Structure 1
C-alpha cells in the first residue's frame, strides 16, 4: 500500500513515518510540507492513501481533498491533524479516518485496518502466486484479478462472476470461491451471493428484515438474507 504524508510540520511527518514502519506492507512513497507540493507527489507517485494535515499555509488539507474529488482514481484520505473540530468537514470529503495529534498507536491501527478494507493492494502473501481466477468467456478461458470482481452469484447449477465490464461463468461453487478468495474482502450475504465489500454502496430495506444491496458498477439488486444483515453492517460501518 503506497502512502504519502502531507503536513507542514516536519516533526509530525517524521513521527508518522516512524509509526508506519511497523506495517511491512506499507511503503511511504513521498512527503510534502504543503498541499501544493503534495499535489505534485499525488500526480507523480500515485499513492493509494494520503495522511493529510488540515491547517497548512496556502491550500488547506480539506481544500486539497475537495480538489481530488475530481480525479478518476483519487487516493483514500486519512486526516491527521491537531484540530478535532474539522471532523465533520473531513467526512464530507469521504475521508476514511480522522486522527488527532499527538498520534495514538491504537487509533492508527484501527485506521490502517479500515484502509485494508477499502484499498485494493496485494500483500506479499497474496503475490506469491499470480492470484488470478479462471473464468469462462464464451469459447475461451479468461484470467481475471479477484479485486476486479464486484459480486458472485449462483443460479441453478451455474456460477456467475460479475465485474464492471462483463459477467462470466465459472465451474466452481460459491463455497469453493469463498475459500479461494478468503484473503480478499468478500462477504456472503445470501446462500447464492458473495459480494466484495468495498464496492457496496447502498443497503435498502425490502420488508420483514430482508434487505437488498446496491453494488458500484452493477445494475442488479442483490438480496441480503436477514441472518447476514447484522454482521454485514458491522463489517461496513466505522
Structure 2
C-alpha cells in the first residue's frame, strides 16, 4: 500500500506495550505514532496523532478498552480498533464496538500477521495496486543491520520454522520477516509461490520435471538442489512459464 499504517498502542502494562511495538515494528507497512497507558490517555493521543488503527487493551483501570472504543465511535473520523487481551471471554462484546479483530496475549505472530493483512486490505483503495511502482531493492534486517538486496539476484526464498532464508547469487540471508510479507513486497517482480514454504524467482528456472503424485521439481540455474513444486501450484506455474 502507498502510505504507512499509523498505529497507536494502548496498554496499561509497559511490558505488553513494548512487546507489541516490537512485533509490529517488523512490518514495513506499520508506523507506530504513539502509545498510551490508560483509557483516558488513549482518547487524548487519538486526537493528537490521528492514528489509522488502535491496538487496544481491554482490561485497564478507570476507563477500560470497551469504554474507549465506545467513545471512539463518536469521533468524526474514528480509527480502526484491534482489541488485545489475555481474556477471550470479551470477544463477543468487542465486536459490538466495530472492532476489526481481537488478538490474545501472549501474542501469536501468525495471528498478528493475519491482522495486519486485514488492516492493509481495509485501508488500501481499490485502485492502489494499479499505481504501485516496482520496488528498487528489498530491504531486510539481519542482526540489527539493514541490507538492500537486488530482487533480480534473489534465486529463491524459503521458510524454515521462525525464519525466512533468502538465497541469492552471492550469499544467503536469514530474516524474521514472514514469507507472505516478502512475497507481497516482491509482487512487481517475477517471483512465484511453488509451495507454502517456498518462493522462487522464475528467471532462474531452467527445467520443470515430473516427480510423483502430480508434483513436479524445478531445476535452478547455478544450484545443485531441486525444488519441489506442490501439485496445487503446478497449473498456474506452467502458465507463468508458458509451458
Could you tell me the TM-score, scaled by structure 1's length? Answer: 0.51
The equivalent of 1:90 in structure 2 is: 94
The equivalent of 1:100 in structure 2 is: 104
Counterparts in 2 of 1:14-163, with a 5 A limit?
Answer: 14-120=18-124
> Aligned partners of 1:44, 1:106: CA distance in 2, in Å?
31
Cα 1:69–1:57 change in 2 (3 A) is: same
**Within the alignment, does 1:5 sit opposite 2:2 as a pair?**
no
> Aligned partners of 1:36, 1:101: CA distance in 2, in Å?
22
SS state at 1:88 partner: helix
Q: What whole-Å deviation, never above 9, does each CA across 1:176-212 have from its counterpart, x for those lacking one?
A: xxxxxx99xxxxxxxxxxxxxxxxxxxxxxxxxxxxx
Displacement of 1:127 in angstroms is 6.6
Displacement of 1:21 in angstroms is 1.3
Q: What whole-Å deviation, never above 9, does each CA across 1:45-104 have from its counterpart, x for those lacking one?
A: 000000000010110101110111111210000001011100001011111100010000
Equivalent residues of 1:76, 1:119 under 8 A apart: no
Displacement of 1:43 in angstroms is 0.2
Cα 1:41–1:83 change in 2 (3 A) is: same
> Aligned partners of 1:40, 1:127: CA distance in 2, in Å?
34
Root-mean-square deviation (Å): 2.6
> Aligned partners of 2:38, 2:59: CA distance in 1, in Å?
10
Displacement of 1:119 in angstroms is 2.0
Displacement of 1:118 in angstroms is 1.2
Question: How many residue pairs get matched?
Answer: 131
The equivalent of 2:206 in structure 1 is: none
Displacement of 1:126 in angstroms is 5.5
> Aligned partners of 1:57, 1:47: CA distance in 2, in Å?
23
- Please say which structure displays the higher CA radius of gyration: 2
Could you tell me the TM-score, scaled by structure 2's length? Answer: 0.50
> Aligned partners of 2:99, 2:17: CA distance in 1, in Å?
19
Q: What whole-Å deviation, never above 9, does each CA across 1:144-182 have from its counterpart, x for those lacking one?
A: xxxxxxxxxxxxxxxxxxxxxxxxxxxxxxxxxxxxxx9
Cα 1:12–1:128 change in 2 (3 A) is: same
Cα 1:126–1:26 change in 2 (3 A) is: farther
> Aligned partners of 2:131, 2:43: CA distance in 1, in Å?
30
Q: What whole-Å deviation, never above 9, does each CA across 1:113-163 have from its counterpart, x for those lacking one?
A: 11111124799x96759xxxxxxxxxxxxxxxxxxxxxxxxxxxxxxxxxx
Give unmatched runs, 5+ long, in structure 2.
Answer: 135-186, 189-243
